Amino acid sequence: MQLSLHARRRAAAYLRAKRLVSKLFKDLAARFTERKGGYTRIIKLGRRVGDGAELAIIELLGNPREAAADEASKKRAKGGSKKKAAESKAAAEASDDSEIEE
């Protein structure tokens, strides 16, 4: 997938943080190369009490935690130990938490 300079500049105009733009185009874009569509999930939360603004959670699909959970379930089905599956799930959660902090 070839991402253009124009796309990078538009993302930078919206995000206003060079680190986030870099992470978006280097790390996160690779996660969605095989996906044909449906990149996000939007969960509507209703309206905020103070000013009536609509609230929603926007979630990127195909996160590493889901991939690690799928791999762990495959290993268990093949006869892998539960301890290794739990360790891989914990490692995936730890890596996911580090992405959120950035």
The first and second tokens of residue 93, run together, are 């959660």
Count of CB atoms situated within 10 Å of the CB of 39 = 13
What residues contact residue 102 under an 8 Å CB cut-off, 6+ apart? Answer: 19, 20, 23
pLDDT the model gives residue 48: 95
CB 39 within 8 A of CB 58: no
Q: For residue 47, give the amino acid letter.
A: R
| Beta carbons of 48 and 55 less than 8 angstroms apart | yes
pLDDT in tens, 20-61: 999 988 888 887 778 788 888 999 999 999 999 999 999 888
pTM above 0.85, yes or no: no
Continuous segment of H or E residues that includes residue 45: strand 40-47
| Secondary structure element (H or E) that encloses residue 83, with its range | helix 82-101
Give the domain ranges of the chain. 63-102
